[in-house]
Amino acid sequence: MEEIKINIKSNIDINMNSLEEFDRLLISSDKASEYSVEISKTDSMIKVVMEYKGDKKEFIYRDYSSKIGEQILLMIKNLMLKMNNKNYKWGTLIGVRPTKLFRRLLHLGFDFQEIDKILEDVYLVAKEKRELLNRIVKKELEYLNTNKINVYIGVPFCPTKCRYCSFASYEIGSKQGKNYDSFVETLIEEIKLSGEFLKENRYEIESLYIGGGTPTTLNEKDLERVLEAVRESFDLDRLREFTVEAGRIDTINSEKLQIMKKFGVHRISINPQTFNEEILKELNRYFDKEYFDKVYAEAREMNFVINMDLIIGLPNESTEDILRTLDTVKNYDIENLTIHVLALKKGSNLYREGHIHEEIDYEKIEEKITSITETKGLKPYYMYRQKNSLEWGENIGYSVEGKESIFNIQIIEESQSTFGLGGGAITKFTNGAFDEEIKLERIVNPKEPLAYIKEMRDRFDKKVKLFKK
């Protein structure tokens, strides 16, 4: 597709790259489409007039440009959708963190009612999504803080590579799996180094999350060694949440559950993704319902806070299949439920296979999700969106009151710095500000185990410099 051509009859500069991306993702206009845009200002209003294919529309709105620097760009996007008869529940929003936008508007001095009006008029966000944002932001504000940090530890191994997966994950039986022993030793070394540094510099850790991959791919001996290193190295006295991703049931047993409990893990994820065993088999993911129920019962008995992940829109899964999975969820007494919509990411086998999203009755599925979560007392508490996802929908975390994942909130909202360890872990340093000029500073550990082993000390030294600012 050729780039869209926009003639600006104004002395106001426009971000053309943003408009080109917007057209590509939400409009997919004809080749060589040409918009004529004229912008004018009065004392209190901004007027945008657009001509396109012989049609003319205008959009007049109160001038908030002193607070919303991108207002003119947003108004142009607004008219582009209307000119092309495009209607989306999320309107002009293509970013992954709409809650962060909502909070930035709060920071700029708008109240909840004013923000709702701006989201409706300028961003064209539907009422149901505005109400969702409002609920989630109010809940997040109970937890957000900038004076503490979170720690993420990545274990980039899995029994098999799921076809939809784009994360740092390597099959334990693959060539990369040959570096397993050295990876574990290097990870323990990094844990010890990081713990010493964070203690010396008086960083208070609020939440700690071990993800991957699947961390419980570690054998019993190594899982205990890693958790013991965590307990001995980090100051966990004021830790509010300790999570281990135990998503694959073919990596969990009674002994591993007991080890996690012994070392103070509060929260685990047991993720079926779907209860359709045939679909999971096609996706290269082992599942056995009987064993899943056994693991769940044992975890329940040990009083872990349990999260369950589902993915909506998996290949060859019909609307009725999805509804049956959702009905099955009703049988489990869980504190957290995370609903993802399938995103086709470049790192996944599905993307490389050229998979195209299949049609499902998303409205019907959403109604079922609402019914089940309300019945179980699960309320939305965090969310994010992904490009190239089904219906451009959102991933939502639901929780019973008081059992929200602090780490999930902080990692999505980016108000807190993250110290990342292990394969593929991302370290983020932020002061939590909302100023558009401030950018997060990142340091990324290599995904591949061998590269991580070779480069760990170098990346650690860079993190030390970053966190000493």
What ranges do the domains of the chain cover? Answer: 1-87, 149-464
What sign does the dihedral 63-67-70-74 (CA atoms) show? negative
pLDDT of residue 52: 87
- Residue among 281, 277, 332 at smallest CA distance from 307: 332
pLDDT of residue 440: 85
Both structure tokens of 436: 């558009």
pLDDT of residue 384: 93
Both structure tokens of 409: 């909130």
pLDDT of residue 2: 44
- Residue among 217, 132, 135, 203 at smallest CA distance from 168: 217
For the chain, the residue count is 469
- Residue among 9, 75, 71 at smallest CA distance from 48: 75
Contact 162, 217 (CB under 8 A): no
Rg (CA), the chain: 24
- Of the candidate CATH numbers 3.20.20.70, 3.40.190.10, 3.30.310.50, 3.20.20.80, the domain formed by 149-464 belongs to 3.20.20.70
- Residue among 183, 180, 245, 173 at smallest CA distance from 215: 245
- Spell out where 331-393 has E strands: 336-341, 379-385
Task: Report helix, strand and coil shares of the chain as percent, to nearest 5.
Answer: 40, 20, 40
Q: What is the pLDDT along the chain (469 residues), one digit of tens a residue?
A: 344 455 555 556 777 788 888 887 788 765 557 788 899 988 899 999 999 888 999 999 999 999 998 999 999 999 999 999 999 999 999 878 899 999 999 999 999 999 999 999 999 999 999 999 999 999 999 999 989 999 999 999 999 998 888 777 899 999 989 999 999 999 999 999 999 999 999 999 999 999 999 999 999 999 999 999 999 999 999 999 999 999 999 999 999 999 999 999 999 999 999 999 999 999 999 999 999 999 999 999 999 999 999 999 899 999 999 999 999 999 999 999 999 988 766 677 776 777 777 788 988 999 999 999 999 999 999 999 887 665 567 899 999 999 999 999 999 999 899 999 999 999 999 876 665 555 789 999 999 999 999 999 999 999 999 999 7
- Residue among 318, 397, 316, 315 at smallest CA distance from 362: 318
CB atoms within 10 A of CB 238: 9
Helix (H, G, I), strand (E, B) or coil at 36: strand
**Looking at this protein, which amino acid is placed at residue 80?**
M
Helix/strand number for the chain, H first, E second: 15, 17
What sign does the dihedral 102-105-106-112 (CA atoms) show? negative
pLDDT of residue 168: 74
pLDDT of residue 61: 97
Place of tokens 């409706």: 120
pLDDT of residue 133: 96
Tell me the C-alpha distance between 13 and 69, whole Å: 12
